[in-house]
Chain A
Amino acid sequence: MTALIARRLLQAIPVLFIVVTLTFLLVRSSPGNPFSTEKKIPKEIMEELETQYDLHGTIGHQYVQYMTKVAQGNLGISTQYRNRTVNEIIAQTLPVSMTLGSMAYFLALLFGITCGAWAAVRHNAWGDRALMIFALLGISIPTFVLAPVMVMIFAIWLNVLPVAGWGSPDQIILPAICLSIPFAATIARLTRGSLLEVLKLDFVRTARAKGLSEDAVLFRHALKVAILPVIGYSGPAAAGILTGSIVIETLFGIPGIGPFFVNSALNFDPFMTSGVVLVFSSFLIAFNLVADILYFIVDRRVRLE
């Protein structure tokens, strides 16, 4: 087990290296300059800026300069926010996204698994069908539609929750719900499908034959097995949900890391883009590893070779 974790962490290093390399080179080789503005910048100033940021010379030279800094844990200074280091921006915004994300993740798992199990038990009854229609809607309605509708209902019409902002506990409710809905819906469908299969298996019949109550069969036996696909899904999902969402964070005015993903790329900010990509890939690798370990613990058939 320790060997596995160590091996996977070692594997992560070349993966992250390749990801950062590709990101940096793609941003730097696109037609566009991080410093260009509507008013043309004098040549001398442009050269000074490029020198200050180590963005002069050949792309290979720039890349070596950047990777040397990254190796020392310095992700560079944002070309967009000229007084802030990428480390500082990530340190300020990532915890916000993770606060919101962990709340949404909790809601997604809680409602996803509960609803999925509830629907599986009532297979083909009206409750099952209604829930699965809702789940399908949850998956297919994009958050940029869902969020404004939720704001309109709960913040504008009913006036029970704030429209946007960050800083008081009630401001997390709407964005967390909106962020969790697509994940909850996916988890519900996964749980239901998996549980339906499991409920047909022999060991469930045995459990019932032993005279166990339906609750005991469901929670102590069937769900433990049926949860496997959910665990597989929830690893990458956690990486996605904890590193912020541009749509939710922009629409609700939340100071998270989400908008930096897209905006830094649009602004050709090579250091910021590479920095957020690095964060996201690290999360993805870490949570996939956590999911694998959980898988191993739950499913005795899995061998960690």
Chain B
Amino acid sequence: MEGIGSLRISRGWIVPGILAGAVVLFFAFFYCFGGWTLSAPADLTLCNGDEPQTLDPAIVTGQLEGRICLALFEGLTTRNAKGDIIPGMAESWEISPDGLTYTFHLRPGIKWSNGEPLTAYDFLNSWERVLNPATASEYSYQLYYLVNGEAYGTGKITDFSQVGVKAPDDHTLVVTLTHPTAFFLELTSFQTLVPVHLPTVKKYGNDWIKPGKMVSDGPYVLKDWRLNDYILVEANPYYWRPVPVHRIKVLPTNSPTACFNLFYSHKTDLILDTRSIPSTLVQDIKDKPYFHANPFGATSFMRFNVKRKPFDDVRVRKALALALDKEDIVTKITRAGEPVADTLVPPGNAGYTPPEGLGYHVDQARQLLAAAGYPNGVGFPDVNLLYAIRGNSPQVAAEMQALWRRDLGITSIHLRGQEWKVYLNTQQLSDFDLCLGAWLGDYNDPQTFIDMFVTDGGNNDTGWGDPQYDAMLATSENTADPVKRMGILRDMEKILVDDEVPIVPIYFWVGMSLYYSDKVGGFEPNFVDDHRWGEFFIPEEKK
């Protein structure tokens, strides 16, 4: 024992010692690592739903990242508060009569946030970057509408000058498409097609999107970004018009409860993501003045695996579709006033009249099921219903199981919930009998929903295919007359939801947001759920 005499610390100091150690540790982190930074005052604070995965517009795929990207960057076109397409970096454009060539004229004197002039070549080179396979842009297909866009994007050709985009001078960009694309001006407003400052990208590599490094051309510049803490954007002095709100703070809070608490205690002015509103609260707050809901271009639906029994029989698919009491699902589970969906394409597409859909007819469903050999559900084989353990999908799936039992007597549908990424994997391998899913439109056009189900389409996953359907899509793409084109798309959707039924539409989404109209202006409900921050203003009363 004497050997350790040198270590004889008075034992009475152990407890105060540990306590003091914890305090020292605390202050050490407090000061050394800047655990706290004084948050800069902002004119507007908003909850954006989660930490952005990236702010590189070529890489971004998510809606919450897209929102910030579109505050920092602006493409040839942009949107107003109503969601309509308006001129952005391009002041005007001409479309050739065949709908194949777009000539954009850039605004004179437009600049990057570092003061350098922005030219048509910046667009050209940024689009090259998106298509370049080395960028690994998941949304590069947004440029496949260009002549040779797909060939360059998949590495089949390596000469970018063969791709349908040219810059004859600093202020003109000429784009040639493979076929008339009615929604092309929507695509040019999307983040994938915005210009990025390539010298910055080259200089900093992966780090170019960080504050102090990023150079952008949109209404705002990135001022500060602390992981999972906040993002601060400030008005870009070189933007072509002044923006009303100088400084916006973005909170990445991903707990709906915390978001609502922040809003309730006036720590945030705006919650603009539906998923940031606790679904259990919707019923209680939907009549409050700060609650806003708008129709939104997304649909929840269910896929059949038509390669597996018994869903290879169209009568069985129709029976399940006809006997699904969707009203019950939206009133009991989702409860935010979602409209029941009998078609895949959500309402609100100008010029598009959707087909009627099958509706809810239990008697007809029972007859079909009996004709297929399963009267009252007797003998129906064991099948599973795949869903993601996320949001309200588990509840919706359980309700569907109960509804089919109630109306058709089928007792052999089993629930199969999986974690999000596992679910995506299973769905893409078509390793399911029934699969709950949803689709958000990329742009405001029925095609973004309908072209999903071409034979072996990347997101088809049902195993269903119809040569006639594929041929109709090709025809529609080459039809310049919008009325005719919409007619073809309508006939295609009729095949999908009325005749062949590889899917069952369930409900259309609503976009929900929380804000007091006297505190936040320029935020208008719009169908694409796309709210450009440059449109925001603070009503006079608050100032």
Measured CB to CB, the residues of A under 8 A from B are 1, 30-42, 44-45, 48-49, 52, 77, 80-84, 89, 92-93, 95-96, 98-100, 102-103, 105-106, 109-110, 113, 148, 151, 155-156, 159, 162-169, 219-220, 223-224, 227, 231, 234, 250-256, 259, 266-268, 294, 296-298, 300
Contact = CB atoms under 8 A, between A and B. Distances in A.
A156 B37 contact: no
A225 to B, nearest CB: 9
A99 B9 CA distance: 28
A164 to B, nearest CB: 4
The 7 closest A-B pairs by CB, nearest first: A95-B33, A99-B35, A255-B228, A255-B229, A163-B261, A106-B22, A40-B458
A162 B419 CA distance: 33
Contacts of A300: 1
B18 A92 contact: no
A250 B425 CA distance: 27
B258 A251 contact: yes
A166 B136 contact: no
Interface stretch (B23-31, B82-90, B515-523): B23-31
Contacts of A151: 261
Contacts of A294: 14, 18
B12 A159 contact: no
Given A297-B9, A297-B14, A266 B421 contact: yes
B261 A82 contact: no
B154 A42 contact: yes
Contacts of B350: none
Contacts of B262: 163-165, 253
Contact of A106 (B26, B428, B438): B26
Given A98-B29, A156-B261, A251-B255, A166 B15 contact: no
Interface string B410-427: 000000000111101110
A119 to B, nearest CB: 16
Given A92-B227, A103-B26, A42 B458 contact: yes
B36 A166 contact: yes
A48 B18 contact: no
Contact of B265 (A42, A89, A155, A297): A155
11 contacts: A38-B438, A38-B440, A39-B459, A40-B458, A95-B32, A99-B30, A100-B35, A167-B39, A227-B15, A250-B254, A300-B1
Contact of B421 (A49, A219, A259, A268): A268
Interface stretch (B50-58, B299-307, B321-329): B50-58
B140 interface: yes
A166 B138 CA distance: 34
Contacts of B393: none
B35 A96 contact: yes
Nearest to A220: B12
A250 B255 CA distance: 6
Interface string B188-212: 0000000000000000001101100
Nearest to A94: B33
Contact of B14 (A95, A155, A227): A227
B249 to A, nearest CB: 11
A77 B7 CA distance: 45
B267 A162 contact: yes
B464 to A, nearest CB: 16
A110 B17 CA distance: 11
Interface in B228-244: 228-230
Given A98-B35, A105-B22, 13 more contacts: A1-B7, A31-B425, A44-B133, A44-B155, A48-B134, A48-B136, A83-B207, A99-B35, A163-B265, A163-B267, A164-B261, A168-B36, A227-B15
A297 B264 CA distance: 52
A230 to B, nearest CB: 9
B543 interface: no
Contacts of A231: 14, 18
B184 interface: no
B309 to A, nearest CB: 24
A300 B7 CA distance: 11
A300 B9 CA distance: 11
A16 B338 CA distance: 50
Contacts of B26: 99, 102-103, 106
A116 B26 CA distance: 24
Contacts of A38: 424, 437-440
Contacts of B11: 224, 297-298
Nearest to B150: A42
Contacts of A259: 228, 254
B29 A102 contact: yes
A83 B61 contact: no
B271 interface: no
A105 B30 CA distance: 15
Given A40-B458, A98-B29, A253 B61 contact: no
Contacts of B267: 162-165
B254 A81 contact: no
Contacts of A162: 265, 267
B406 interface: no
Contact of B18 (A155, A234, A252): A234
Nearest to B61: A37
A98 B31 CA distance: 12
Contacts of B4: 1
A96 B207 CA distance: 22
A285 to B, nearest CB: 18
B7 A297 contact: yes
B445 to A, nearest CB: 16
Contacts of A39: 61, 138, 458-459
Contacts of A256: 228
B36 A169 contact: yes
Given A38-B424, A297-B11, A89 B25 contact: no
B19 interface: yes
A99 B59 CA distance: 34
B265 A81 contact: no
Contacts of A268: 421
Contact of B22 (A109, A167, A168, A253): A109
B471 interface: no
A45 B32 CA distance: 42
A44 B228 CA distance: 32
Contacts of B207: 83
A254 B262 CA distance: 13
Contacts of A234: 18
Contact of A34 (B30, B36, B37, B421): B421
